[in-house]
Amino acid sequence: MTTVQQISWRERLEAYYYLCRFDKPIGTELVFWPTMWALWIANQGMPSLGILVPMIIGTICMRAAGCAINDFADRKVDGAVERTKNRPLATGIISAKEAIYVFLILVALSAGMLFFLPIETFYCSFGALFLAFIYPFMKRYTHLPQVFLGAAFSWSIPMAYTAVGHPLDLTCWLLYFGNLAWTVAFDTQYAITDREYDLKIGVKSTAILFGRFDIEIISLLQATSVLLIGFALYLEDLLFPFGLIALLFVAFDFIYQWTKTNDRDPQRCFWAFRHNRWVGLMIFVGIVMALNL
């Protein structure tokens, strides 16, 4: 096992890079697109760069912070899972204390972006920090850690509303819970890839909770997300025709994911998880077209 003292600063910086998953932007994309939905809908168009840039930087930093605290929480079990055994903390390349420092620095950078945003966004950010911190530890106490992740990933939606000075109305919460349902769906796909190992080491997940009904419940969650987001677009007069077209593409994508994963093959479930990056983009394109055409 590589020790902290045996690596150079360059190797250590590379380890921090991998700790934050900057080499795997899928997680950032899955937080980024819902944030953009909310900003464009709440602002009824593109927000100013003074709002857009801090929100983007804050989103990137908080996602990276979430990865750091997640690896800190999982440092004793990641080595027993094939997919995570080479993470920097699992291999001992960096220490647990370093991971905490990285987490705090990223939180501080994200907090710095709040100086450019309204005070309401600052208050709202405490919810994001709380959820980002507790999520990694939930898999030891409940089979619903994916719900906590969904709440954390979706918190950027009310933050986006406060950033443009819009009240947290019904549309905001429809987007929030629609995104939460979608997040639970794709993170359950992700959890299926590790289910065999999680059962051995005592880590809990919705993939374990749902059991043989996992794919069916994922499909139900995906359908729920389409309906809730569709209702949100309808309330904002953004559904016809472009919002509906976007959601139809999303629905077809979900059906395609089902055809690929109904045999529960871990590699195909991981592929389906990654494929969700296009779902967020399709909805965003539909929103932009509805607002501008």
pLDDT tens digits, 269-283: 999 999 999 999 999
Percent of the chain with pLDDT over 90: 95
Out of 154-158, 170-174, 199-203, least confident range: 199-203
Check pLDDT > 50 for residue 23: yes
Round the average pLDDT of the chain to a whole number and report it: 96
Average pLDDT over residues 78-102: 93
Nearest alpha carbon to residue 117 among 75, 79, 86, 163 = 163
Contacts of 133 (CB under 8 A, 6+ apart): 69
Model pLDDT, residue 166: 98
Residue 14, CA distances (Å) to 20, 21, 32, 289 in order: 10, 11, 24, 40
**Res. 2 pLDDT band, cuts 50 70 90:** very low
pTM of structure: 0.96
pLDDT score of 8: 87
pLDDT (average), residues 4-26: 89
pLDDT exceeds cutoff 70 at 95? yes
Backbone angles phi, psi at 155, to 5 degrees: -65, -20
Burial of 267 (0-12, 13-18, 19+ CB in 10 A): exposed
Task: Report the pLDDT value the prediction gives residue 82, as an integer from 0 to 100.
Answer: 86
Q: How far apart (Å, rounded) are the C-alpha atoms in residues 93 and 103?
A: 17
**The predicted structure's pLDDT at residue 220:** 99
Q: State residue 1's pLDDT score.
A: 42
Residues with Cβ within 8 Å of 183's Cβ and at least 6 positions away in sequence, in order, are: 30, 146, 149, 150, 153, 154
Long-range contacts of 236-241 (CB under 8 A, 24+ apart): 236/41, 236/171, 238/41, 238/286, 238/287, 238/290, 238/291, 239/290
pLDDT in tens, 51-66: 999 999 999 999 999 9
Model confidence over 105-131: pLDDT tens digits?
999 999 999 999 999 999 999 999 999
Which two structure tokens, joined as six digits, stand for 96? Answer: 């647990």
